[in-house]
Chain A
Amino acid sequence: GQQLNQSPQSMFIQEGEDVSMNCTSSSIFNTWLWYKQDPGEGPVLLIALYKAGELTSNGRLTAQFGITRKDSFLNISASIPSDVGIYFCAGYNNDMRFGAGTRLTVKP
């Protein structure tokens, strides 16, 4: 199936720092989505993007749908301890494909 390459695999940051992660694919997607998974729980949808070039914010989170439709980016500003978790990108055409996730650790 279509592969999504998500990077970095893990990040260790200090509280208050900004975070950037991205997701790339060899295939075009019509929808890009970002999820967050807390330990031992299911993923929760953060942001959905529907148009190439679209930039969407949700509080301190900002995500972009790449112009080529083959990539997407997620930024978190002024990180706080509760941002800890695994962030997954997903691309959707007729089915949903997930990246392997970025594990974020925030040190107080």
Chain B
Amino acid sequence: DGGITQSPKYLFRKEGQNVTLSCEQNLNHDAMYWYRQDPGQGLRLIYYSQIVNDFQKGDIAEGYSVSREKKESFPLTVTSAQKNPTAFYLCASTPGQGWYGYTFGSGTRLTVV
């Protein structure tokens, strides 16, 4: 079955460490997105990519980095520069035009300990 897979489901990080969240899709979608979700807030866009080897900053890109070396994969690195990284992270994809709606992964909950 086609879908979008995020791993791990839960991640614990010590302060000062970088961590990488995985996002893989087999939907043949061109565009991929990373969102951050905090309690009581909507989804905030971190980075997005519309084609391989190209990506753009979203509204809250500071302290994060991404790569898009393959169409299927869009990993997100949370760096030590991100001051408040504890959150629920969601990856999404779409064929190319967002009016179809996004397909979301099941999320990664990152906790800084």
A residues touching B (Cβ–Cβ < 8 Å)? 1, 4, 6, 9, 30-31, 33, 35, 40-45, 48, 50, 88, 92, 94-101
Cross-chain contact B104 with A44 (CB below 8 angstroms): yes
* Other-chain contact of B105, A42, A48, A50, A88 (Cβ < 8 Å): A42
Q: Interface size bucket, B side?
A: 20 to 34
Instruction: Give bound CA distance, A66 to B58, whole Å.
Output: 28
Instruction: Give bound CA distance, A43 to B107, whole Å.
Output: 9
Instruction: Give bound CA distance, A89 to B6, whole Å.
Output: 23
Instruction: Give bound CA distance, A1 to B43, whole Å.
Output: 12
Q: Which residues from chain A contact B101 at a C-beta distance below 8 Å?
A: 33, 35, 45, 48
With A1-B59, A33-B101, A95-B98 in contact, is A41–B106 under 8 Å at CB? yes
